[in-house]
Every structure is written in C-alpha cells, then in structure tokens.
Structure 1
C-alpha cells in the first residue's frame, strides 16, 4: 500500500490522495528533480504473484503511457512519464487544480445549456485531436472532465484509451468504460471507436443539462447495458438550444453521429449563440423514451414486428397528401401550407412504437424579414395527444395544438431554421392529414 510521503522512482514525493477510479489511485505529488507539482496515477492492475505477470502489466502500462503521451492539447491532461513502484506501474501526469464535472453537478445540479456547450466544445476539441492521432478515449464521462476556476475544461484519464494497433490495457473480452455513458454498440459488446466517444460525450453533456444520464443510472449494470444497447433514451427536456445537438450526438446508429470535429463546431455555435448547422444524418435519428419502453416486456422479434406495424399506422395517420408513409427507415413528412409567407414548417415522424411516436418540426424563415417569434398550429387526429414537447411552449384548445418558440429560438433569419420535437400518443386507427400552419408570433 502506497502512503503519503513516499518517494516514487527516486523523484516523485506523494503529498495527498486526490482520487480513485476503477483503474487506479491518483495522488498529488511533487517532482523533486524539476521542482513542480504532478499527479501520480498508481495503476491497480492484476499482476498476480509471478514475475511474468508483473512484467506484462508494466508493458501494458508503458503502452498506455506511450499512447497518452502522443497527445499534446490545451484541453487534455498531459502524461509525462511511466515508472514502476513496488512492482506496480505509475503514470506521471500534469497536475491540474480543478473539480470534475461530476463533482460540480453533484454540488450545483444541472448547468445552463450555454455553459454546457462551452464545456463540450473544449472537451470535443481535445477528443478530436486524440482521434486524429488514432486514439480512442473509451471512458468519456462527467468524472473525466475537469473544470478549473478560470472555466477551462480538460479531458482526463486516457488510462483505458487505446490507440489503433495497440492492445487494450484492460485485456480482451472486457468492456472498458462506465456503463451509463457507453454507446449502444459498445454496450452490446462491440468495439469502441471515435463514434462511440462522440456518443459518450453526448451522454456526458446530456447529464450536465438534464441531471441524469440519457438511459438512467440503474444499479443493475446488466439491465442498464441492455437498455442502452436497445437505444432506450429519454428525450432531453431542459437542454434548450442544445436539444438538436444532443439528439445527433446520441444517435443510435454510429454513422448518423457527427465526427468529433463536427461536434466541436456545432457546440461552439451553441456556446456563441450562432446558428447551428448540423451535418445531415444518413438515416432518421431515433430516440426511444426509456420510461415508455421499460413498461413493456417483449421478446426482440415481437417488438420489432410491433414497431414496424406501428410505423405503418402512424405513417397513415399523419402523412400529408402525396407523401410516403413511415415504413422501415422512411419517416412520415408533412409540410405546412402557411397563409403567411413569413415562415413554413416541416413535420417529420422520427420514430414510432405501439401506442406512440416521436416527431420533429422544423420551422424555416420563408420571408424577407427575420422572425422574432413563431407559432405552429395543427389539429390533432382523433385519439391522438401530445405528451412532451422540447424546444417550444405547448398550448391546447380542444383538439387544436399550438407550439410557440422558446426563449432561445425565437429569432430565425430568412432561409435559416429552428426546430422543436414532441412525444405523441395514438390510441385509435383512422386516416389524418394534419395541416400545419406556421405564423410569426
């Protein structure tokens, strides 16, 4: 057991323990040779009782240090050295007086969307640099985002990252990462990739705005992994201007997520209150509301059949004239025929399930002047109701539904767009052609 005051590798004096994770204990220390503060991460690897096992652990740790030391970025914790102490490998890293995002959230609760976007932009810039070096972090989470008093964010603990062509430090057959922030493909046992880091960053930023990870934080890790692998996510409700960005970062299909460099660009746009231009997805972004899905216990084959049937039904219910119904990956689409040329609205069903569906409405500035507020109105088909709305304010008058712009998306320049989404319930059959009316508000 390492204690305060010990000298590591003849030069690093341990001052105090500052953290402990699944891979090791982190100490605040002083480099007596260079007279500077450092962090020492004592890796808790299973070295067994034999010399060969200890040597293998040291080789793995050296590989880890080599991978992490490739990265030199202002928003990533720097690794200086790898040494051995009492038969255990230790990483010598930059010491950063800071709090983790996890600690900040525990003390303050959810953060404003603009602040979360700023943190995300900085973290994404470091992760994009890592991806350019062939390094996948594998454990992006609030506990690994460090925040300083001057609002600098740095990604820490590339300790279970893996470079392309390098063996993982955790060994084959193990899932590396924190369950609540894993991507669906990794939760299902697949390989980590830059796209999985994008999802994990999205889950981290979601937790920062919503107060909990997107699929919950179940004490049963197997149940949690199953929900994540199945794509069960609760749509964000407090993310404001980050809502659309989170939807894309958390896309179930890795190909539908932006690259980390693209994520940095859109997060910077939100942080700076600029229009957000998301790269187009290859297929509709799907977000299943976890609470609704968890109420049902069905085998995978039956669920898939039911979803397909519901997709056909919802397509019939809300497709406009001449538009295809929602079958397979094809969303139902309705475009508004507004009497006012100032704006138009496009209605897309992005997902459906037995008894419900998720839709997104895009409002576009169609006139010569910018909008300083907008409202979209439509008649609900019989048996339908709207249960949740994000990025807008909902009002009802009988079967008439109106969604008005939120405070953060009132201004829409000519040719630009804003969007809102909602969860709907459908309890009856029949055909319907909702006519959306978009008006300046």
Structure 2
C-alpha cells in the first residue's frame, strides 16, 4: 500500500499512521462520503482463501457494533488479496501513552470500555485482545476501544491459523494462556489487566521478552497484588479472579468501575478459591453470648415467676398471664475467610451478617492479625491497624445492614510468614 492509492474506488490513502502486529494503519479519505477514515490492512496470507474469508467475516461481525466507546468498523474491502478494515478515525493517543492517572480516573476509563465491551458481548462479539495499546483517548477525554480486527462472533473460527494464539500474552486470562478458548469471561480478565497496567506500570504478571516464558507465568495464575489502585483495588481483584466463573459479567464490571470512579469502594464477592472457614461458633455475637450466660438464671427465675403468675387472686381465680413485647434487636456477627494466596501475601474477606430483627445503623469490626501479617489494601470500610490489632468501621454506602442482610469487607494482606490462619472477628453495632 502506498500514499495516494485508492481502495475499492473510494478510500484514498493519505499517510501512514502506524504499524502493529496485525497490520499497517493508514489515514485515508473517503471520497464518496467526504470524511476521514482509518484503513487497516490485516496481515493475512492472501493465498489462504479460507483465512481471508474468515477475516472478512469477522470484520463484518465487528461492523455490527455501534457504541460511543468503540471505534466503529465502517467497511471491509480487499486490496492485493488482503482484507482491509475501514474504521472510524479518532485524533487521539493510546492509553499506553497516558501517564499519571489516578485510580478514579482509570476507573472512569474502565467503565467506558466495559460499557462498549458489554454491548459487544450482547451482540455475540468477543474482542480477545484488550490491552492499553488498543484503547484510544480522544481530545475530549472519551475512551474508545479499537482493534476489533481479531474479534469474532461466538462459535466461529478465529482469523489465526490452528495452533497460533490470538491476543497479547501479558494481558491474556490464565485459562487462555493454558490453551483454553477466549470468551466473554476472558475479555473481563483482559480489561482488568489493562487497567492494572495503567496504574502499576506493568501488567499483573510483569513483563517478559520471551513470549513462551510470559505465557508460562500467566498460566500460573498468580498475579502481583496491586499497590497503587486505592479505591479501585476491590474491582480489579474481582476482574482478575483466576476462576472465570467467579468474575463479574462485563455489565457488572461496568457498574463496579463506575462506582470506583465516584470514589465508592465496591467489595467483590467472597473469594471463590478454596477458603479457610471459621467454625460456626465464630458467628456468635455479643447478644448471643449475653443470652447464653443468662439462660440458667432465667430458667430458675422462670419457676418463681411461673408460680406467681399461676397463683389465685383474691377471688380464687388464676391471674391472667402477663404479656410483653420485646423491642426489635440488631444482632451483628462476622467471620473471616482466606482466599487466593501468593508467596508474600493473600486475599481475604470478612462477612458481616445481621441476624437480628431490625437494621444495623452502623457497625465496627475488630480482630487480631497473626504476627508478621499486615492489611495492605482494604475496601468496603475504613480501617486502622496498630501492631496486630485491626479495626474496621463502615463506609458511607454500607452503613446500614438490614435485618437478615450482610455486607463484605475485602482486603489484601502482606505476610512475612507462611501461616494463613483465619482470626476470630468481633462485630459491634455503632
């Protein structure tokens, strides 16, 4: 392809924008509609008619998607036997070239991308190569995901030949790195890896020049916990869950990222990896303990009270039994679970449950960490740690726990020892 060439009788090549693994991208002019477009020639062997046909079909699939946060695919044409995608042209810079963003700014970008990807998933389209280089930030700050060139409809064969991996190794989901098929859930993981890389400066599994070594690390599934994610930590860890079933849908990802962009920390569900659960007795709350210690006295007193209530009155009739109505009570109990673990730390959650008959209107959790363990990031509450003593109070958005309801507090913990014992948690109403 050369400057000045005209493709399909209408797309005049103006200047080369860049080259990538999937092909060269040109700024072009659509002579028929009088607008600027981008033209990307895919690096598919022109002699492989089946591969060309698949690429054309996949380009047309991507063309079904119309969303304000996705670069539109306008047309698919052939040039010199190779398929070319005609795309929306957006003056922009890539997310990979954007530095110094706060967690809330990254969350806002993530919410935009998740919105577009949720629409793609609804249309049956899987992207398969979400990464910072494939996210464009427009001059007005709008984020758009691009490079649907290797996207496909669910159930269809991929552009790449059998045995060739589509996607960028550092941003793949572990199950894809192990040879599994990319799907909607792996797109969720890749979105999480993209946002992680923007905040932390590198992808969750680091960087390896050797693609095979990189795939091996990703297949292992053990990420380096985020250190700079702030209020975005909980959402990131949910998107990056090793178990595909435990990840949110893309629509749910959009919701939790939007919440993080507004400064609201969102606790993901309890870790789905094997957990160390506390015995049932650890759900005992202050109310339960008081009731238990007073039980014997109440039984003894009951004999006397029963005698008094059943004694005849001055007329010789039995007095009617006294009636009373106990005020509704909130009953706060909690337990600690340990989830995914790595050499110097682990993920954990505390689940608070209100088993009373009225709402909690504020709560506080406290426990003692094992020696050498320190809470690194916590979402779902405000915490302090003095030595091994940890105290957590409710956040603004989960201050009320209805009768029968529950809330979760998630965290990552740094640990200098190999022990992963779950401490006993005390829960109190504030």
Alignment TM-score, normalising by the size of structure 1: 0.75
Alignment pair present for 1:237 and 2:227: yes
Within 5 A, what are the aligned runs for 1:228-267? 228-267=218-257
Q: Which residue of 1 aligns with 2:301?
A: none
Contact map agreement 2:336 2:425 (CA 8 A) in 1: no
Q: Which residue of 2 aligns with 1:69?
A: 63
**Long gaps (5+) in structure 2:** 288-329
Alignment pair present for 1:12 and 2:2: no
- Equivalent pairs counted in the alignment come to 381
Residues 176 and 121 of structure 1, relative CA distance in 2, 3 Å threshold: same
- Over alpha carbons, which structure has the higher Rg? 2
Alignment pair present for 1:413 and 2:412: no
CA distance in 1, matches of 2:202, 2:135: 16
Contact map agreement 2:233 2:377 (CA 8 A) in 1: no
CA distance in 1, matches of 2:106, 2:81: 41
Per-residue CA deviation, residues 314-363 of structure 1 (Å, 9 max, x unaligned), is x4xxx65546xxxxxxxxxx658579x89865422113467864323356
What secondary structure, in the 3-state scheme, does the structure 2 residue paired with 1:378 have?
Answer: strand
Alignment pair present for 1:347 and 2:336: yes
Alignment pair present for 1:99 and 2:74: no
Contact map agreement 1:238 1:390 (CA 8 A) in 2: no
Contact map agreement 2:96 2:133 (CA 8 A) in 1: yes
What secondary structure, in the 3-state scheme, does the structure 1 residue paired with 2:144 have?
Answer: strand
CA distance in 2, matches of 1:359, 1:431: 11
What secondary structure, in the 3-state scheme, does the structure 1 residue paired with 2:36 have?
Answer: strand
Q: Which residue of 2 aligns with 1:385?
A: 373
Residues 269 and 354 of structure 1, relative CA distance in 2, 3 Å threshold: closer
Residues 433 and 189 of structure 1, relative CA distance in 2, 3 Å threshold: closer
CA distance in 2, matches of 1:241, 1:80: 38
Alignment pair present for 1:209 and 2:199: yes
CA distance in 1, matches of 2:20, 2:159: 15
Alignment pair present for 1:131 and 2:130: no
Q: Which residue of 2 aligns with 1:44?
A: 43
How far residue 364 of structure 1 moved from its aligned partner, in angstroms, is 7.8
1:142 corresponds, among 128, 132, 137, to 132
Name the Cα RMSD after superposition: 3.4
What secondary structure, in the 3-state scheme, does the structure 2 residue paired with 1:255 have?
Answer: helix
**Long gaps (5+) in structure 1:** 48-52, 287-307, 324-333
Q: Which residue of 1 aligns with 2:81?
A: 87
Q: Which residue of 2 aligns with 1:194?
A: 184
What secondary structure, in the 3-state scheme, does the structure 2 residue paired with 1:27 have?
Answer: strand
What secondary structure, in the 3-state scheme, does the structure 1 residue paired with 2:180 have?
Answer: coil
Q: Which residue of 2 aligns with 1:174?
A: 164
How far residue 46 of structure 1 moved from its aligned partner, in angstroms, is 2.5
Alignment TM-score, normalising by the size of structure 2: 0.77
Contact map agreement 1:337 1:435 (CA 8 A) in 2: no
Contact map agreement 2:349 2:409 (CA 8 A) in 1: yes
How far residue 429 of structure 1 moved from its aligned partner, in angstroms, is 7.8
CA distance in 2, matches of 1:127, 1:428: 39
How far residue 158 of structure 1 moved from its aligned partner, in angstroms, is 0.7
CA distance in 2, matches of 1:432, 1:56: 56
Residues 216 and 182 of structure 1, relative CA distance in 2, 3 Å threshold: same
